[in-house]
Amino acid sequence: MFQAAVAKRLATLVLVVGLSLPQLGCTIWHRNKYLEQSIPPDAGIPRELAKTTLPVYRIEPPDILLIDAVKVIPREPYNIEPLDILQILVSGTLEGEPPILGEYRVESSGIVALGPSYGTVKVAGLTLEDATKAIEEHLSKILANPGVSVSLAEPAAQQQIAGEHLVGPDGTVNLGIYGSVLVSGMTLKQARAALERHLSQFLQDPETSVDVAAYNSKVYYVVTQGAGEGDQIIRVPITGNETVLDAISQLGGFTQVSSKCMWVARPAPPGQCKDLILPIDWNAIVQGGRTETNFQLLPGDRLFVAEDKMVLTDNFVQKATGPFERLFGFLLLGTQTIQTINRSPSGFRVGNNSVNPFLTGT
């Protein structure tokens, strides 16, 4: 009677503790230095309703820059290149035929087509003055006294410079025939100055505009413990406005092995070894609409989502008992198989013992 009463009280105690554990949250499951500190609201940490702007953006690999050529005038003397666009004006053309007036692209073979009635002229490698003479000499075979004017409307350089450019692992952007320019670690203003300084070797007072098409180098990380199955790390590009709630929503919520215990680990500035850990009250954020722990994420932050210790314990028990279960199952299967064979009609008795020919080899 006494033993039954003790067993009943122990069962009640275990049930009460089991129901209470989920309510204790991080306190009982994660007693470590990361959760022993609290961040007061006036600590100056950026939060949902008190965000801060990020420092001036510095270009790093693998950012993608959008470069546009605003002013591209080749240095004199300029030699015409394939894909250049020439402005050509010819007087005294044939009556009844389309006039030679407008923009004409130099083909990749180096020729410019003047029309069906006037043929083509090779101008690649010539200066504008020499190209004018070459076109005039060609048309003089068709026209009585042609007047030719040739100017550069758009150089091929603008087409090669303008567009999206990936910052390579060496920190440079490739400008085609104009070579590479180092831009890593620079602001957009500094990168623009570096590009124009480099292009001034080939162009007359070049002007460019530089913007970031894809912010790939500044990221934060979401680390999710795997309850003994390995941690998961997700690298997320940062735009400068994300909070903890934004980060979790981008992941689609928690995994089956995650708990609601989490914190932000922020890298310390150079020369400081003290960890900056920002504990997060998830229930207060989503159920109460509180913003004190909905911190703004900064480049390099680690949002750590702890594992569910109940799932971890269950996985550990399964790993520990799994080999024994398989071994016992194999032994049980073997014993049952032998018993089944001994009871089959093919078995026979020798004295008081049942003998199976498959087991005796006869």
pLDDT at 156: 81
How much is the pLDDT for 28?
38
pLDDT at 259: 81
Amino acid at 260: K
Distance CA 214, CA 356 (A): 77
Residues of the chain with pLDDT under 70: 1-43, 271-273, 312, 315-316, 344-362
Q: How many CA atoms lie within 13 A of 162 on its CB side?
A: 12
Q: Where are the alpha helices (DSSP H) in 227-307?
A: 244-251, 282-286
- Whether the Cβ atoms of residue 128 and residue 80 lie closer than 8 Å to each other: yes
Return the pLDDT at 13: 47
Q: Which pLDDT belongs to residue 258? A: 77
Contact 60, 217 (CB under 8 A): yes
Task: Determine the pLDDT at residue 88.
Answer: 95
So what's the pLDDT on residue 251?
82
Alpha-carbon span 207 to 192, nearest angstrom: 9
Report the pLDDT value the prediction gives residue 273, as an integer from 0 to 100.
66
